[in-house]
Amino acid sequence: MSERKRYPSDLSDERWALIEPVITAWKAAHPSVSGHQGGYAMREIVNAILYQSRAGCQWDYLPHDLPPRSAMYYYFAKWRDDGTDQTIHDLLRWQTREKRRRLADPSLVVLDTQSVHAAAGVPASTTGRDAGKRVPGRKRGLAVDVLGLVVAVVALAASAHENTAGIALLDRVAAQTGTVQKALVDQGFKNAVLAHGARLGIDVEIVERNPADKGFVPQSKRWVVEQTYGILALHRRLVRDYEHRPASSESRVYWAMSDVMARRLTSTSTPTWRGA
């Protein structure tokens, strides 16, 4: 790593050690035709991705002592398209669960969605308006385990029905792990999600709100997904949707959660907005 002043988002030696084997294996499997090893250390590429995730800056506003936009975007897009970002994320999730004395894959997940405003310049063809929440932009769907760790993520136009998001999430959960037997959802999800879950062998239960409750009242077990959305909001790149491609939006969630889990595995606190 080059000599420069550290940013709060930079990987420590301990956190880099958690993901370095995956990056090193990827690099070995993708040699340059010319044999050139590249002008930037892979650790610095990841540091640049994490910096942008936390700071939320535009590509051209990356600090000059980090790799430039061209190098960073090249690897961000490559790892997004071939699933390396999710491989890193899933390995960290398994380790985090095992540290908490749980099996690597969960048997229960919680599904929920969040509509976020899209930034100027995001293609209208990939966005819409959530009529219920009155939010123009994208709908971010998460499936999390009981620890609040992300098992699956989807990014859709905000106009997409909850059923569409729920069905897409169930498909991804079933494709990524064969252990999930039950999914908890709120009342925004309808019978189509329950029926789709049954076809996949997943029992979908709608957790109904107590009519007597006033304001926001956390629901048993389902509250963890709300906590995860709150944790993701510490990463300013996710406060709005700045990505032209929904796949990039999903990749941002994987990188943000990888950062969170790497910190938990190494007992490193996550800087808040006030402290960063």
Strand partners, 204: 183
Which are the contacts of 24, defined by CB distance < 8 A and separation ≥ 6?
42
Domains, the chain, with CATH or none: 104-243 (3.30.420.10)
Query: Which pair of tokens denotes residue 54?
Result: 């936390």
Per-residue pLDDT tens, the chain, 276 aa: give them: 447 899 999 999 999 999 999 999 999 998 876 555 667 899 999 999 999 999 999 999 999 999 999 999 999 999 999 999 999 999 999 999 999 999 999 999 999 999 999 999 999 999 999 988 899 999 999 999 999 999 999 999 999 999 999 999 999 999 999 999 999 999 889 899 999 999 999 999 998 766 655 555 555 678 899 999 999 999 999 999 999 999 999 999 999 999 999 999 999 876 665 554
